[in-house]
Amino acid sequence: MKDRQVKELKEELKELAKKVWAGVDRLRSEGKLPPPPTPEEMADEPTALANSGYRERAEREELERENNQLSELVGSLKTKYPPISPETSNSKPMGALGRRKEEESKKAMEELKHKALNEMKVQLALDPEIEWIVKTVDGKSYLSVKQN
């Protein structure tokens, strides 16, 4: 077909389409055809619903592919860079957790010292050959030996 023939054919089809739509409008005005569907009705139209399943399945498959790719990436990173725990790390913990661990360690050391001092006081107090004098000033106890 030549360009002129194609152009003539397009014009004929346009004229035919105009006649068809004029007939549709006439039949609707006579009440022989229902009014055009609303957008809500078009959304509930069976072919639209039938096609939505394909779209949803394609989206779901795409999400699964992306999820699998991310899982593989995370898995490879875990093998390259295993997580560091306080047990496997030689460095000092930092931040709030580090401060809390340091405070707990100091507290445990103080409790251990206090316990050791109490045991020592009991052992010293039980020695019958030595006369001890215990003085408490401002909540602190001072131990001295009584001189004869």
pLDDT in tens, 79-105: 777 666 655 556 665 677 777 888 888
Residue 139 domain-assigned (yes or no): yes
Residue 105 domain-assigned (yes or no): yes
Residue 112 domain-assigned (yes or no): yes
pLDDT in tens, 133-144: 677 777 777 767
CA dist 131 and 146 (Å) reads 6
- 103 burial level (CB within 10 Å; 0-12, 13-18, 19+): exposed
Residue 59 domain-assigned (yes or no): no
Residue 134 domain-assigned (yes or no): yes
Residue 60 domain-assigned (yes or no): no
- The number of domains in the chain is 1
| Mean per-residue pLDDT, 130-135 | 68
Q: Are the C-beta atoms of 102 and 95 separated by less than 8 Å?
A: no
Residue 70 domain-assigned (yes or no): no
Residue 111 domain-assigned (yes or no): yes
Predicted TM-score (pTM) of the model is 0.29
**Residue range of the domain that includes 132:** 99-148
Displacement of CA 52 from its chain's centroid (Å): 30
